[in-house]
Amino acid sequence: MSGTGQPRYQADERAPAALTIGLGVQLAVTTVAVPILIPTAIMRIAGAPDSTLLWAVFAAVAISGVTTMLQAVRFGRIGGGHMLVMGSSTAFIGLSITAVAEGSPAMLSTLVVIAALFQFLLSSRLALFRRVLTPAVSGTVIMLVPVTVMPIVFRMLNEAPDDSPAHAAPLIATVTILVILGISLKGTPGLRLWAPVIGVVIGAALAAFFGLYDLNLVAAAPWLGMPDFQAPGFDFGFGPVFWSLLPAFLLTAMIGTIRAISSNVALQRVSWRRQRPPDFRAVQGTVTVDGLSNLLCGIAGTVPNTTYSVAAPLVEITGVAARAVAIATGAIFLALAFMPKAVAVVLAIPGPVVGAYLTVLTALLFIIGIGLSMQGGMDYRKGIVIGVSFWLGVGFHNGVIFPEFVAGFAGGILGNGITSGGLVAILMTLFMDLRRSRPSRMEAAFGPAALPEIREFLAAFASRSGWDGAMADRLDAVGEEALLTLLRPDEDQDDDAPPQGRRLRLDASRNESGAVLEFVIAPHEYNVQEQLALIGEQDDAATIEQEISLRLLRHLASSVHHQQYHDLDIVTIQVKGKRCGGGTRLSA
């Protein structure tokens, strides 16, 4: 990343056309195998006819292309606005095989559509799940993605025909990795942009020298075409197989939603030069497209999709986060769906080359997951959630924890590390949330006139909590400055009427270190957390005067987090106190 850890091109900036197309081709070439191979494996194992298989692959690639382009835009509540790639979901492999083998392709379609509708519900009410879908949960899910794919990747490093030289596969994989790492670590910023694709090209050329590049596969494929229409329709019989699979599909859809959230937040972290708080409106857009993708997959009769964060490490390597790259990637996906020969060119790249490339990307993805988990700091409870969830996910995925039970439970859903580890993280987070004391709550019209009510409410809360005057005064000051800061976008109004009729809800609760205040209002564009990070960057008199409340809030509060959703703005403020005798005094 230009040696600074910052992108050369942010998500909202235009990169040169040649670079955009080149990275789009690179991202498409290295990920298009996912919506090709997963439906192929599922339909073959389930015993589906070839016509169903060919249609499922075509539909998976085409839908992945369309929804990858949708993820790159922000149109109302649709799209995440970042370089997010859609592809077939590994978490649904076991369930999809069971649905087709014990039911029918039509039953798979029905279950996938229901799972998609569930994701639409989660997207529209994402703020209600904020205490569960935390950075710790999201980061754990991202960290488990390499765990689930690394066994496959490592096997790919050794893939070679029986009659090839014994040293061919190790040499090809080693050269590919060394080229990517060498250019990434020592290359110029411009050359670093092309490190992954240069490594793949050199590795493929070396593979061709050893005869490992399958030219026959390319020669046999037609240039253009598409399979016969094979959408299976829906199964409305709702028999025992349907009801046994429905809970597992809904749970896996929730895990897929967490993965979509994790992917979007991971891309946000690497797509801007200045670190910003996560924009949960963009996250909601990502989950909406994830659900839309699955709705299309269900209608078309192919396996469910998910949002991949594979572009995050690519951004780390190349420094290009421009969303136009994802639009190019999606367009190439869509074109490849109608170009069997082009798909064959990608599929002919031997396993050692693809495995070496994915080894580098998944290693970086693991580090991104760690960074996401650490967001907001680390304490021992958060560490327990992350550590236990991660290692249980590893254990379940490798079949070393109660293998007989796991294999027979809900179609083997726990056998996927992302699903099992994500579920453990959710349950542990819910358990921790149960320990929170029930908050005190007040509601008022959002405006300057709410200040007396807030002060009275916080004074009563401090008294009930047994805190001394110093802590009560700090809570009073935090309440005042927080309200003034939130009112700042509406400061052009001259009267005390509630801005646009909005309402304010204030929750106050205690924790071990002091008090937590949560302001919930109707949404606007202004982000308090981001503005706190910008204090001091503009030094004109008007700006400094406007920043007084922000500066005081930063001084009084130990942490401020502002989560922006389409339907709500939630500002959470931690006010630390120190236990002293029978009360609480201010910490130094």
For residues 331 and 70, give the distance between their C-alpha atoms in angstroms, rounded to a whole number: 11
Report which of 95, 96, 2 is spatially closest to residue 40, judged by C-alpha positions. Answer: 96
Structure tokens at 526: 């202004």
pLDDT value at residue 68: 93
Angle at 84 between CA 119 and CA 12, to 5 degrees: 120
What superfamily would CATH give domain 440-586? Histidine kinase-like ATPase, C-terminal domain (3.30.565.10)
pLDDT value at residue 408: 63
Task: Answer for the pair 333, 65: CB distance below 8 angstroms, yes or no.
Answer: yes
For residues 27 and 398, give the distance between their C-alpha atoms in angstroms, rounded to a whole number: 29
pLDDT value at residue 525: 60
Q: 87 CB contacts (<8 Å, ≥6 apart)?
A: 31, 34, 35, 38, 60, 64, 305, 306, 308
pLDDT value at residue 376: 65
Query: Tens-digit pLDDT profile for the chain (588 aa)?
Result: 444 457 788 888 888 888 888 888 878 877 777 788 778 767 877 778 877 888 888 899 999 999 999 998 888 788 888 888 898 887 677 678 778 888 888 889 999 999 999 999 888 888 777 777 777 887 787 787 777 777 777 887 887 777 778 888 889 989 998 998 888 888 776 677 677 778 888 888 898 888 888 778 777 778 887 777 778 888 888 877 787 677 768 877 877 887 788 788 888 888 887 777 778 888 889 999 999 999 999 999 898 998 887 787 778 777 888 888 989 999 999 988 898 887 677 667 787 887 887 788 778 778 777 877 776 677 788 888 889 988 988 888 777 887 777 666 655 667 767 778 888 888 888 887 776 667 888 888 888 888 999 999 999 998 888 888 888 888 998 888 888 888 865 554 444 444 556 788 888 888 777 888 888 887 666 666 666 555 555 554 445 555 676 777 777 788 888 888 877 888 888 888 654 333 333 332
Q: What is the DSSP string of 103-122?
A: I-HHHHHHHHHHHHHHHHHH
Strand partners, 508: 440, 517
- CA-to-CA separations, 390 to 100, 262, 363, 545, in angstroms, rounded: 31, 15, 15, 47
DSSP H or E stretch at residue 585: strand 583-586
Task: Answer for the pair 27, 333: CB distance below 8 angstroms, yes or no.
Answer: no
pLDDT value at residue 580: 39
Strand partners, 87: 306
Q: Show the DSSP H helices in 534-575 as ranges.
A: 541-546, 548-556
> Whats the size of the chain, residue-wise?
588
For residues 384 and 317, give the distance between their C-alpha atoms in angstroms, rounded to a whole number: 31
pLDDT value at residue 394: 86
pLDDT value at residue 412: 60
Secondary structure (3-state) at 140? helix
- Delimit the CATH 3.30.565.10 region(s) of the chain: 440-586
Residue 34 half-sphere exposure toward CB, CA atoms < 13 A: 26
pLDDT value at residue 467: 85
* CA max distance for the chain: 84
The distance in angstroms from the start CA to the end CA of the chain is: 39
- CA-to-CA separations, 1 to 271, 302, 486, in angstroms, rounded: 11, 38, 35
Q: 558 CB contacts (<8 Å, ≥6 apart)?
A: 513, 514, 574, 575, 576
